[in-house]
A and B are shown apart, each in its own frame.
Chain A
Amino acid sequence: MGFLNSPKWIDVENWSLSWTIGGTWWFPFLESIHVIAAAFVVGSILMVDLRLLGFAAVKYPISTLSKELVPWTWGAFVIATVTGLGMFITRAASHVVNPAFQWKIVLLALAGLNMAYFHFRIYKNIARWDDAASTPMQLKVIGSLSLLLWSGVMLAGRWVGHII
């Protein structure tokens, strides 16, 4: 993983944008937006996950919940990513070698894979269980994994600030 120790990350920290964000009220501003957006990502995906587990909102078809909530999740995710990148560049070299940050990226990728598996492999057969209050094991596993992985992303993300 040589690229993690590359001096290029220091160059990123020295961009004038990085200095502007790091040295002004921009940083806390971006961070508060990041926390709100991240909480919204988890809060909106939580509603879908609990439906996949058969715990909540069982009166609504899974496809309806997913169609109406996931665009909000993505919108919030884009905001969280932009604000996150804004904070990242102020300390790029330290972040890439920070174990909490590395965990966060790995968990994010796993959460993304889990979501992709649901949307591209499982979603095709949606008609079979769309209205089912009691969902099949496969959906329960995907819903639980999503909850665990996103909670892990939050924990790792919060831990970044304790290590840096």
Chain B
Amino acid sequence: MPDYFTSIGTLLDGSFLQSGALWALSTIPGFPPIIQTVHILGIAVVMGSVVILNLRILGLAVPSQNITEMTRRLMPWLWWALASNLVSGAFFLFGRPLRYFNNPIFGWKVSFLICAVLLTLFFHLMSRREEAYWELSSKRLWSARAVALLSLMSWLMVAMAGRWIAYVEYIYYPA
């Protein structure tokens, strides 16, 4: 793990953010599974927005929906779901910062997340530059498909890596 990454963990460790998160996680009854469920419901919205949109661009799903219209309608859902997931995820991140910022799989998750967000942001911003931007020529449509494929894989890898954070500890630091 690069130093600038692990040092974020050191910075958060022992801070008021950690004590606040630990207070919420240990005091409010059922808080950990509830906040994890909020996090997973956020992932469900990611699936129902950008993943379905990517499947549509690849010609695999919802053929009667229009790509431009879908982008305009679904992107706000994605960005709000991500904001919600940053908050729900932060409880765990702040609660045990050393666990996450020293975990290589968490590093992978953040890397995939940055990839996924940049690809989706690029797609979204270009589609706002010009009406039906991605559908105006076959070259653009093929570029949209390439972006959609990479974006789809990145989003799925974010969710996949997220689940493996808890397991890599057994592999790297066996009991």
Which stretch of A31-39, A107-115, A125-133 is in the interface? Answer: A31-39
B44 at the interface (CB under 8 A from A): yes
Knowing A28-B163, A40-B51 touch, does A68 contact B63 (C-beta < 8 A)?
yes
Q: Mark A127-156, 1 if CB is under 8 A from B, else 0.
A: 000000000000000000000000100110
Interface positions, chain A 24-64, Cβ under 8 Å from B, are 25, 28, 31-32, 35-36, 38-44, 46-47, 56-57, 59-60, 64
Quote the shortest CB–CB distance from A144 to chain B (angstroms). Answer: 15
B167 at the interface (CB under 8 A from A): yes
A162 at the interface (CB under 8 A from B): yes
When distances are taken between beta carbons in the complex, the residues of chain B under 8 Å from A159 are 30, 33
Chain B contact residues, majority secondary structure = helix
Decide if A151 touches B41 in the complex (CB within 8 Å).
Answer: yes
Assembled-state Cα–Cα distance A162/B31 (Å): 11
Decide if A158 touches B40 in the complex (CB within 8 Å).
Answer: yes
Decide if B163 touches A35 in the complex (CB within 8 Å).
Answer: yes
When distances are taken between beta carbons in the complex, the residues of chain A under 8 Å from B1 are none
Knowing A36-B156, A162-B32 touch, does A43 contact B47 (C-beta < 8 A)?
yes
Decide if A32 touches B160 in the complex (CB within 8 Å).
Answer: yes
Decide if A36 touches B73 in the complex (CB within 8 Å).
Answer: no
Interface residues contributed by chain A, number (CB under 8 Å): 31
When distances are taken between beta carbons in the complex, the residues of chain A under 8 Å from B115 are none
A72 at the interface (CB under 8 A from B): yes
Knowing A36-B159, A151-B37, A162-B33 touch, does A46 contact B64 (C-beta < 8 A)?
no
Decide if A68 touches B163 in the complex (CB within 8 Å).
Answer: no
Knowing A68-B62, A159-B33 touch, does A32 contact B159 (C-beta < 8 A)?
yes
* Cβ 8 A contact of A43, one of B44, B69, B164: B44
Interface residues contributed by chain B, number (CB under 8 Å): 33
When distances are taken between beta carbons in the complex, the residues of chain B under 8 Å from A65 are 62
* Cβ 8 A contact of A68, one of B32, B51, B65, B160: B65
When distances are taken between beta carbons in the complex, the residues of chain B under 8 Å from A46 are 44-45, 48
Decide if A42 touches B63 in the complex (CB within 8 Å).
Answer: no
Knowing A32-B160, A155-B37, A162-B33 touch, does A68 contact B61 (C-beta < 8 A)?
yes
Assembled-state Cα–Cα distance A39/B156 (Å): 11
Quote the shortest CB–CB distance from A93 to chain B (angstroms). Answer: 22
B57 at the interface (CB under 8 A from A): no
Decide if B44 touches A42 in the complex (CB within 8 Å).
Answer: yes
B116 at the interface (CB under 8 A from A): no
* Cβ 8 A contact of A44, one of B52, B163, B167: B52
